[in-house]
Amino acid sequence: MDKRDFKKQGEEVHIRIQEELFKKDKDMQQQFYQQFTTIPAEYRERMMVIEAMNLGFKIQDGYPISVATGEPATESQMNTINKATDRAMLRSNPHLDKYNMKYQNGLFVPIDFKKLIEKEG
């Protein structure tokens, strides 16, 4: 088997793993969601500050306060900030790249085989 055939076979196995293991395992997907929306914690804090500011809040003593009224965020507003922070974490979490993962179409999957090969050198 030459190098070209080896890479082609590796790519086919990689695709099967994505389809059969990652995309179908709901428990694994939930675990990844928890991990990649909360870790690294300091990155989540930074994303929450940014998302809260975008929604008209500032973080004071770890809690969102409305810039307009000075009132603490309601439960509904807090949910909106948390959802926006989750989306930001899934777009740009440095751990996704670190672990060769991507968030695509609502699922966590390994990066493409070609990118993995390029990354590994």
Measured between alpha carbons, how far is 11 from 97 in angstroms, rounded to an integer? 19
Measured between alpha carbons, how far is 118 from 4 in angstroms, rounded to an integer? 15
Say yes or no to pLDDT of 17 above 90: no
pTM beyond cutoff 0.85:
no
Say yes or no to pLDDT of 64 above 80: yes
Measured between alpha carbons, how far is 100 from 95 in angstroms, rounded to an integer? 8
Say yes or no to pLDDT of 51 above 70: yes
Question: What is the per-residue pLDDT for 3?
Answer: 75
The average confidence (pLDDT) of the chain is 90
Beta-carbon count within 10 A of 48 CB: 21
Q: Which residues of 80-89 are buried (b: 16+ CB within 10 A; e: fewer)?
A: bbbebbbebb
Q: Domain ranges for the chain, please list them.
A: 10-120
* pLDDT tens-digit readout, 74-105: 999 999 999 999 999 999 999 999 999 999 99
